[in-house]
Structure 1
Amino acid sequence: MPLTPQYEWAQTATHVSLTVPLKGASRKDVDFYVADAVLKINFKPYVLLLDVVAPIEPTSAVVKILDGVIHMTVAKSTPEMWKELVFVGSKADILARRKASMDRKTEMEQQLAEKRKDAKYATEKKTLRDQMALEEHERQRLDDLKADEKQREESAMYRTFQELKTPSAPKRTIAKPPMEPILEASTDGTFDITNNNDDIEWSDTESETDVAPMTAPSLPMDDDAINNNNVHEDEDDETDVVYIPAPRETLQSKISFTPRVFPTPSRESTAADEEDWLVKNRKHLKSHKGLHANCAQDISETDPVWLKAKADDFYHHRDFQSARNAYAEALAVDATLTACLSNRAACHLHLGAYQLCADDCSAALAQLPDNGATSSDPCGTHRLKVRVLVRRGTAYAQLGYYSQAKADYGVALSMHPENEALQIDFARISRLDECYKVKQRGDMAFTAQDLASARDLYTAALVIDPTFVACLSNRAACHLALLDAASCVLDCTSALALLQQVVTPDVRGSPIALSAIPPPGSIKRREWVLKTLVRRGTAHAALQAYDKAEADFADALALDAGNEKLQKDLARVRALADASME
């Protein structure tokens, strides 16, 4: 039974203060609960539960632990001086007032949780949009730089081609007149001139070897000869060089359209809705055949090695959710990366997704060779297979499949027999497997209504492993059915003490312990606590300890507020308590 610690209180017009000595208890074991009409401080074996006389502000509570003393300060809802701290009234009024205050506290926490959830979603959405905008801006900047560089190089190349293709201006040449035939003298000493140029005569005194024959200056020329000479001179002057331009160059422009997920044309009116849909379904877009076919992607979207390195960084910083997503992206690009499967299984293990962890480990083992080593990297593959087997064995142990867990740890230990940690874990799982088999026999006896045999089998299982919570809870049920309420209370109290333990990291730094206790925060652990509280409350009621029974049923109802059966049981226990007081 919890004890009530000593405390002192003080007040001002706006605040009330409490001072509670810890009496050697660790500050890590202290639990606080503040509602608008209830103050609760819990540290074993003490519980301080105060129903304050006037409303307070739960969100304004400030707690400090200095020199082994708890200092709590809470603001009053209405500034006034209180005559006393604790509300005075009948037990029924106090319990009703306390329940209403706790209900308001639960409702307020649910509202705050919804607000935090909405704020987290809005923040993630804004972060994603900002990241997408930043990546698009960077991609556009790189595309612009590439386009400018390409334009400069093309312009320089075209100028060079133009200079090579443009010929220099040809020299103007004048056609030479045909060579005149050599005139020979006839027998009578005369020359036969057969051409039409009557205006030119050759001197008979010049030698035939002279370079430039002289014209006769004194001979007259007729009008036809003059006209013919003028015509030839005009034709030479009017001759122009005609330049023919080179053929025009041809270019081929390739046009590509931006791929879209949606079959409809892009519209500004639907852009926001489409973006919201893409944010929600982003993980399914990797399989879209036309979306990423021709578009330029960042290295973070295409390189599985880069994605794995990024995931490793997240894992080393214990951001297991981000690491799991990055490993999934790498596996979407290349599904044969065994290391990514193994590391994603480790992320699942830390996040409590034990079945997903076992599935990834099975897929990784299917890709590893049966001999456990390869010629290229025998040691690396050997160690990887051992890690995968240990992770799958741990996942099976958390799921309650102790035989499969024992088999995986046995194979891992045979591959690495000198590992002391594996030896300890294998021995622990062997005890759990043996205890679980005895428990199954006890369950069969309980189903057959052989309560005494079931109780003895559960006791034998607890001898093997005293921390097997399911055996404690089931043995308590046997005690209750056999009308041994006191033993039922003891077993339920021991089971609740085990369920309230905080898992501490082992020597290897892993927070995952090999035990029969469900993980903290899991639905299974919550259900076990609820069931054990109900059994202990029933046993207290059988022992006519109605105050303790009422407390157990109230705690159980706080875990499952909508349970009508628990509400009826609590009302029945309160009625019995009131009847006993009369």
Structure 2
Amino acid sequence: MPILVTDFNWRQTDKRVTIRVPLHGIHKSKADLLTTSNYIKASFEQFFCEIFLHRPIDYQASVCTFNSVEIVYELVKVDCDIWDKLEKDGLSKAEKREIRVKARDEEETRLKAEEDSRRGKADSLRKCGISEAIRIDTDKRNRIDIIRKDEKLNALGDVEVWRQKTKKKKLPKLKSTRIDQLPEPRNQQIIKVEFTPRVLPTPKRESQSVEEDEWLAKQAEARRSAGFVSEDLRDEEKNPDYLLAKGNEFLKNSNYLGAISAYSFGVEISPNFIQFYIKRSEVHFIVKNYHRCIKDCSEALERLIPAVAANLKERAICIGRRGCALHKVGMKKQAIDELKASLKLERISLFEDYLFHVLNEDEESENEG
């Protein structure tokens, strides 16, 4: 519990009041002071001194100093007259509490104003410093430009004089050619070139017909065993919706070759139907054909233009799946960028988990290193 200091002494003139509060052996650095127009407080360790002044003072003009044994207040009176007493009498606890709260608020306001003023001055000095640095830099650049121009003029010398002389010289006349001596233009003709249709990429002259026919027959048989041959479809079945449903059915039953064949034939008859590219990229990723998966996703994105809310999910799927495939082929940085771009469009849990897996993979490799 604090010890209330009451053994202070005071004296006055018609303009000032001097109060001396003993420190009781406590060092002045441990004293906490508060002074307002009608209230004085000093606390130092276990000692506490407060004075409710009888009349108001000009606390901004007043001064508080220390000596080795006491605190000395030099208070300037607002009214130049002699006080009957130093402290107010008959103050209740509520009135004292109100004075303390008001004094604390005034002190906080004063400190805040000082801090704002200090910051304002600091900002002003900083701005002045920046302006001065810019001015010095500009002057320096201007001086360098002037020196550069002077050096350029000295180096060129009389180039301008030489240029003026060369302009005055007349160019030699060229020999005139008569128009009737020019040859007639050649006749134009369009040459049509027709190529023999080929299923295989090699030219006809380099092919072996018997072996090629055998290979194509084997491929057709393999497609039939997978459940899809485009040649066997009826005309009414050769529409995008049927082919997409057929491919989805094959994909659901894990018949990946049949699904790829259905989607590929759909791309052939309807190259702008984006779902064929998206679904085929999914199958290519499942069968670990990552390069073709990347190609299908890129082709789908080229057709998802303009980018609007209606195709946002398709764009997110294509970018995310392309990121997964890039990771599989060893392009981790590009894969992370693609996955992040996909998640910015729409948060798809599959790509969130994959991105988390890739990032953890990098952290584990760094820890092992």
Flag the structure with higher strand content: 2
Query: Shared fold by TM > 0.5?
Result: no
Structure with more contact order per residue of length (Cα contacts < 8 Å, sep ≥ 6): 2
Find the structure with the greater CA-based Rg. Answer: 1
Interval of TM-score (by shorter of Structure 1 and Structure 2):
0.3 to 0.5
TM norm structure 1: 0.27
